[in-house]
Amino acid sequence: MRPLLLALALALSAPPALAAAPGEAGARPELLARLPDGRRLNFRCAGQGAPTVLLEGGYAADSLAWGKVRAILAKSYRVCAYDRAGSGFSDPGPLPRDGAAIARDLDRGLRAARIPGPYILVGHSAGALYVRLFSNRRPGDVVGMVLVDPSVEHQDRRFAALFGPGAAGLGPLRERAARCLAAARAGKLPAAEAPLDRCTPAPSDNPVDAARRAQALRPSTWQARISELDNLWGPTSAALDAGRQAYGDLPLIVLTADGTYAAAPQEARQPLADLWWGLHRELARRSTRGVSRRIEGSSHLMMSDRPDAIAEAVAQVAAQANMLKR
């Protein structure tokens, strides 16, 4: 079987298209938390109630990727999404942008923004690695997790064992980001010709698109994305290896999209789906309360396709957390 050098096979995401324009508010920062080194992280919070639900996006996703999910959850909880360093309206961070650095930034940003726990963590794709690392930093404040079509540590090895070298390689995503970085440094963005036309959103009257277009012109945006990719299966995975391997009775739901590999070659589609489901079941078993659940009608971008399923899982985790607190 030929190497599956597909973005889908990476189980990482490009930022999903917004289903509805969030208006002028999404085109500017909302709550800028100043970290000890002077950098700022942008948080977007809505709603009231406890626990606070924290949303961590996958590769290249900013806080606005969670718009549908946040709108549902804000009816019952305080819910916060944020832009990682170098993304959205957050300042760039020092390299490398590995999972430990990302979890540390989130920890310090929440303190600076005065967003207290307890927390339910929701992590999509590569963001699931980062929320798990954050949970290792603040185990007493984390009362539950929902992992949305999550990446897992060292998943490149697991894919390669079944499908051969390069099956879960990050090459295509990295090459694209590297081209965009070089063009941004050379002042050649935005560009109308392929492949550089994919570096920036298409022109539109949407103020959010204009803001994202401006952010794509910054070399630091692409440097952060490349560094995150370069560290996923190395230092980020190693940091998880060094942390806790079991979550006790922590409420945990792992959601698996049924269409993540719908675009894979026919002969590989079912084996890929079976492997993905197996990895997620292993992850759920790290808690005595862990549940793995297939979600129908969803691509990897579940926050866009099935926000209701994510919100339902959060509600179930919150109910379990409240029961354990009594």
pLDDT greater than 90 at residue 42: yes
How many whole angstroms separate alpha carbon 149 and alpha carbon 304?
13
Beta-bridged to residue 142, according to DSSP, are 119
Contact between 49 and 78 (Cβ < 8 Å)? yes
How many whole angstroms separate alpha carbon 304 and alpha carbon 320?
26
Share of the chain above pLDDT 70, in %: 92
Which residue type is seen at 142? V
Beta-bridged to residue 55, according to DSSP, are 81, 122
In this prediction, residues 27-47 reach a mean pLDDT of 96
Note the residue count of the chain: 326
Q: Where do the domains of the chain lie?
A: 8-169+231-325
pLDDT band at 185 (very low <50, low <70, confident <90, very high): very high
CATH superfamily of 8-169+231-325: Alpha/Beta hydrolase fold, catalytic domain (3.40.50.1820)
Q: Which tens digit of pLDDT belongs to each residue from 224-248?
A: 999 999 999 999 999 999 999 999 9
Q: Which tens digit of pLDDT belongs to each residue from 276-295?
A: 999 999 999 999 999 999 99
> Which residue in the block uniquely carries the two structure tokens 């946040």?
70
Q: Which tens digit of pLDDT belongs to each residue from 74-116?
A: 999 999 999 999 999 999 999 999 999 999 999 999 999 999 9
In this prediction, residues 149-161 reach a mean pLDDT of 95
In this prediction, residues 256-280 reach a mean pLDDT of 94
pLDDT the model gives residue 164: 86
How many whole angstroms separate alpha carbon 211 and alpha carbon 311?
28
